[in-house]
A = this chain, B = another copy of it.
């Protein structure tokens, strides 16, 4: 199977399949004499696994770990569960931060007349920082997986 067919079948873009190979997330694909990559059902299975994990917001690094557990017949479901729980916590925290920002901005917007005059509480708050969620260094986390892995209909999926 060509990379294009594998892409359509797995819902992972060809570009990404090559990238995953380059970073060792999937093993180097078999090659035909022409140099074309050749995929089988096992490869599709693995790509599907990766895609579903991405759909749940896992980073490629964590997916690497999950793939390891997947192929380990002696794995402990406690390990998997721990990773999942930790990820849930991170997702919730990111969602909370976004909601905090949305709430703050929504109330600022609600306080704005929007009547065409220059007078604007939103601008005023940006100037002074009033009612803007403060930076709380204790709970800061800079290194988190991207917001939404959402690809745009790579397959008729």
Interface residues of A (CB under 8 A from B): 11, 45, 48-49, 51-53, 55-57, 66, 69-70, 72-78, 80-82, 84-85, 87-88, 91-92, 94-95, 97-99, 101-102, 104-106, 108-109, 112-120, 122-123, 125-129, 132-135, 137, 140-142, 144, 146-148, 150-153, 157
Contacts and interface: CB of A to CB of B under 8 A. Distances in A.
- 6 closest residue pairs by CB, A with B: A137-B153, A77-B120, A91-B102, A95-B98, A81-B114, A140-B150
Copies of this subunit: 2
Contacts of A132: 52, 55-56
* Interface residues of chain A: helix, strand, loop or mixed (majority): helix
Nearest to A48: B129
Which of A98, A106, A123 has the most C-beta atoms of chain B within 10 angstroms of its own C-beta? A98
Contacts of A153: 135, 137, 140
B148 A84 contact: no
Contacts of A122: 77, 80-81, 84
Contacts of A148: 94, 97-98, 140-142, 144
